[in-house]
Structure 1
Amino acid sequence: MSALDRLAPPLFIFIWATGYIVAKLAAPYADPLTFLCWRYAGVVALMLGLALAARARWPSPRQMAHLAVAGLGIQALYLGGVWVSIRQGLPAGTAALIVNLQPVLVAAMAPLIGERVSRRQWAGVALGLAGVVLVIWHKLTLGASFGPPLGLCAMALLAITGGTLYQKRFVPQFDLRTGQVVQFAAALAATLPLAALLEPMRIEWNPSVAIAMAWSVLVLTAGGISLMFYMLRHGRVTAVSSTMYLVPSVTALMAWLLFGETLGTQAIAGMAVTLLGVYLVVGKTAPR
């Protein structure tokens, strides 16, 4: 196992967890779809520059089509659904719980792409979900009044699950630079008309938004998405998706350190349960 194989999961978890911090920074000053359009455009410019400088190999037309479809799910529908649902009033804890059903769906659908999920791994998936519930329970709110935002968040869950499985099935190997140009260009093409139709496209360029945008483009996307794609290329999709169970725990620790949010014994216990669940799914002794 290479050094990157060992470092990729913890780096990905840390980077992915910062997404909620970024959203908190940008939310008061930018419409969600408008912010995402700027983010997608920034990623396209960055990755295109890197690809041209390195003379990276471009996907075939068929691969481009598959990458665009996967990108619509993983980027446009997932991020758009989560950001808009939270902006419409869905509590972040509820959104986090819905999105963290992804490993359950991935495990259930893994046989469609030829992966077998063992009983030990199913136990890990269940434990991981239980741990997530413990971590975010004090922020969890469910109610009929959140109908449309709940629907958007559910759409985001289905989109990232379907996009991840689709990419693993149809285009598992591609250059991360050129591939992301294709994916984020597709996401921008889908999101920009919706932003123009549904929002005043307000964005106030102040230090908070500038920091959030730079982090979103350079770290969350160029770093986090690239690491996720790398892990999908070199691992099983069930194991990769299960690492996302750890994101709420890391986010809770960050919020405690940066914003003074409460971190009780229940949340700490949930972190331990989640860690055990993820180990059961990805541990070396788990059946392959």
Structure 2
Amino acid sequence: MMNPRRPDLLAAGAALVTVVLWASAFVSIRSAGSEYSPGALALGRLLAGVLTLGAICAVRREGLPPRAAWPGILISGILWFGFYMVALNWGEQQVDAGTAALVVNIGPVLIALLGARILGDALPPRLLAGMAVSFAGAVAVGLSMSGEGKSSVLGVALCLLAAVTYAGGVVAQKPALGAASALQVTTYGCLVGAVVCLPFAVQLVHEAADAPVSATLNMVYLGVFPTALAFTTWAYALARTTAGRMGATTYAVPALVVLMSWLALGEVPGLLTLAGGVLCLAGVAVSRSRSRAAAAGPRPAKATESA
């Protein structure tokens, strides 16, 4: 007999894989972004993701998604896989890392609000409290990373656009997962995003000819792991919980980025950065927890005495 908690554990494991891989993308984006322009980097990443996902679909003999899933796939592909990646790459070149982190982390809040409005998701107090704690942590991390670096109105607007398209893409993706598998939704969403970014193809070819091998390998890594694998595990977990709870889970990313930068790059975080990372993780824990009553399930009705 299957453990009734196993689906929850698998979904939590999938969410963990997602946030770890998205956090690992930080180093690769910094390396590849110095050699590739925003649109070319997005297209190269998506093409690597499409090739990887297409190979997996061929091995698993996955067919086309059902017609009911296509509206969500198209919208999430355009908004999240397409516009989001270009806007984020471009925005991070216009503002310092701290400002980008502050603005983009509005995304999970928008996901929760749009999920409640469009999908009818509940907004339990624990979710709201956890998101508030995590957002405070993200602000602390962002402030600690902000310096006297470049910053522009255009950069802030692009990061805000990234947050909005990210939220819209997630909310659009959720209904599609009720009709198609996580692999189908991710594969064809990635393909749609690649088509959206095709105007950058000439740029990609020219820049790839001049870029060092390390930058190109980082771009391929972004496509295979933080895109193909992480977006699939994200979709798997999203199909089994609300959009708001999944959005709140991504607040673990800033904390993991701090840790990975420390271990991989030797960038020792300050006290404010560490405190912000701890707050991010604490907020995620609160947002994903359940009250005792909810965990116990509905109480059985009391037996009534016959007359």
Q: Assess same fold via TM > 0.5.
A: yes
2: CA distance, partners of 1:140 / 1:156 = 19
Is the radius of gyration larger for structure 1 or structure 2?
A: 2
Does the 8 A contact of 1:81 with 1:155 survive in 2?
Answer: yes
Counterpart in 2 of 1:111?
116
Q: 1:287 to 1:266 in 2, by over 3 A?
A: farther
Note if 1:183 corresponds to 2:189.
yes
Q: Percent identity?
A: 23
Instruction: Name which of 170, 176, 183 aligns with 1:164.
Output: 170
Residues 178-257 of structure 1 correspond to what in structure 2 (within 5 A)? 178-193=184-199, 195=200, 201-203=206-208, 204-257=210-263
The aligned counterpart of 2:298 is none
Q: Deviations over 1:19-46 (max 9, x none)?
A: 2111111122222211221221222222
Paired AA for residue 106 in structure 1 = I
When normalised by structure 2's length, the TM-score is: 0.85
Report deviation, 1:212: 0.7
Hey, what's the Cα distance between the residues in 1 that align with 2:286 and 2:292?
7
Per mean C-alpha deviation after superposition, the further-off stretch among 162-171 and 123-132 is: 162-171
| Deviation at residue 181 of structure 1 after TM alignment | 3.0
Task: Check conservation: 1:106, 1:237, Cα contact below 8 A.
Answer: yes
* Superposed CA offset, 1:150-184 (max 9, x none): 11111111001011111113543423333333212
Q: CA deviation at 1:228?
A: 0.9
Change (3 A) 1:181 1:200: closer
**8 Å contact from structure 1 (residues 44, 180) kept in 2:** no
User: TM-score, with normalisation over the residues of structure 1?
Assistant: 0.90
SS of 1:262 mapped into structure 2 = coil
Distance 2:293 2:228 in 1: 32
In the alignment, the residues of structure 1 paired with residue 144 and residue 133 of structure 2 have an alpha-carbon distance, to the nearest angstrom, of 19
What secondary structure does 1:30 align onto?
coil
User: 2 CA distance for matches of 1:191 and 1:287?
Assistant: 47
Q: CA RMSD in A?
A: 2.4
Distance across 1 between alignment mates of 2:74 and 2:234: 17
Quote how far apart the aligned CAs of 1:98 are. Answer: 1.1
Cα displacement string for residues 247-267 of structure 1 (whole angstroms, at most 9, x for unaligned residues): 111101111122222311222
CA drift at 1:91:
0.9
Q: 1:99 aligns with which of 92, 104, 108?
A: 104
How far apart, CA to CA, are the structure 1 residues paired with 2:206 and 2:159? 21
The aligned counterpart of 2:134 is 128
Work out the number of aligned pairs and report it. 286
Pick the aligned partner of 1:24 from 20, 24, 30: 30
Residues 220-252 of structure 1: CA distance to partner in whole angstroms, max 9, x if unpaired?
112111111111101111111111111111101
Runs of 4+ in 1 over 4 A off after TM superposition: 141-145, 196-201
Return the offset for 1:62. Answer: 4.3
Q: Is the 8 A contact 2:81 2:194 kept in 1?
A: no
Distance 1:44 1:27 in 2: 20
- Consecutive unaligned residues in structure 1, runs of 5 or more: none
Q: Which residue does the alignment assign to 2:53? A: 47
Unpaired runs of 5+ residues, structure 2, are 295-307
1:17 Cα offset (Å): 0.4
For 2:72 and 2:187, how far apart are their aligned partners in 1?
A: 13
